[in-house]
Amino acid sequence: MSELLRVEGVRKSFGDHVVLRQVDLAIEPGQCVVLIGASGSGKSTLLRCVNLLEVVDDGVITFDGRDITDPRVDGDEVRSRMGMVFQAYNLFPHLDVLGNVTLALRLVHGVGAAEARSRGLAMLERVGLAAKARARPDDLSGGQQQRVAIARALVANPRLMLLDEVTSALDPELVGEVLDLLGELKAEGVTMLLNTHEMGFAREVADEVCFLHDGRIHERGAPAQVLGDPQHERTRAFLSRIRA
């Protein structure tokens, strides 16, 4: 098995509302898989299921060769090997930028204060925000905050990055700086599962695009094929709506 992540037959409902019916997915190391679909199609729910923030109703998610949907698995340990970035950044407002980036290193990964600091600063350098290490999140622009959130998720070298609509809350002129950073991460071989409404970005960076509709992956394939020449009517309808 060369896959890093395999999702098989995942089902998730909230009360009577079935969000995911039967989802199958696989990601190999270094790959970038992009989920597209209408609002409420379950893209975010799928990411949260992979991160074990939601408990699936059925199905198997295998990460790094291990079934993580087994209730005997330590969810915190699994999450410590993944990085997650949220639409609304979710930075901790009571900590400065460096404090946000080094929190998990110190508390979860047992890294000493001095090393956490140097790794945190190196990571901030990497996302171009070393000068802001002592700033409070509230004093940064949206794009800067999201880059800090990416640095926070990336600093512990996760095996997989989960990115949930990371540019949806940003002003159009700030979207570029975040997407550029993600493109660089892809080039460095970071494995990513993300959902986005930025079709141009999906076309550029994705190895595979999956169209989620009615709780299933309706269509999947290379970005040029799914976005350029969709085979299913649903996919065409969705793409024409967002291009309109």
Partner 1 sequence: MTDRVSAPAPEHWEPSAAQRERDEWRRRRTLRSAAIAAISTLLLLGAIGGAVVSSPGWQRVRETYFDWDKAVSSFPAVLDGLWLNIRVMLVCWVLILVLSLTVAIVRTLRGPVAFPLRLLGTAYVDVFRGLPLLLVIFLLGFGGPALSLQGLPTSPLFWGGAALVLSYSAYVAEVFRAGIESIHPSQRLAGRALGLSYGQTLRHVVLPQAWRRVIPPLMNDLVSLQKDSGLIAVLGVTDAIRKAQIETALDFNYTPYVVAGVLFCCLTIPMARLTDRYARKKGYHGAGGHL
- Which residues make up the interface to partner 1 (CB under 8 A)? 9, 11, 21, 38, 57-60, 69-72, 214, 237
Least separation in angstroms between residue 19's CB and partner 1 is 12
Least separation in angstroms between residue 16's CB and partner 1 is 9
- Cα dihedral 65/18/90/162 (nearest 10): 30
Least separation in angstroms between residue 60's CB and partner 1 is 6
Q: Which of residues 42 and 120 has its CB atom nearest to partner 1 in the complex?
A: 42
**Interacting residues of 222 by C-beta distance below 8 A, sequence separation 6+:** 207, 208, 209
Least separation in angstroms between residue 71's CB and partner 1 is 5
The span from the CA of 22 to the CA of 235, in Å, is 18
Q: Which two tokens stand for residue 225?
A: 């094929």
Q: Which of residues 134 and 241 has its CB atom nearest to partner 1 in the complex?
A: 241
Q: Which of residues 38 and 130 has its CB atom nearest to partner 1 in the complex?
A: 38
Q: What are phi and psi of 68, to 5 degrees?
A: -90, -5
The span from the CA of 244 to the CA of 242, in Å, is 6
Q: Which of residues 9 and 142 has its CB atom nearest to partner 1 in the complex?
A: 9
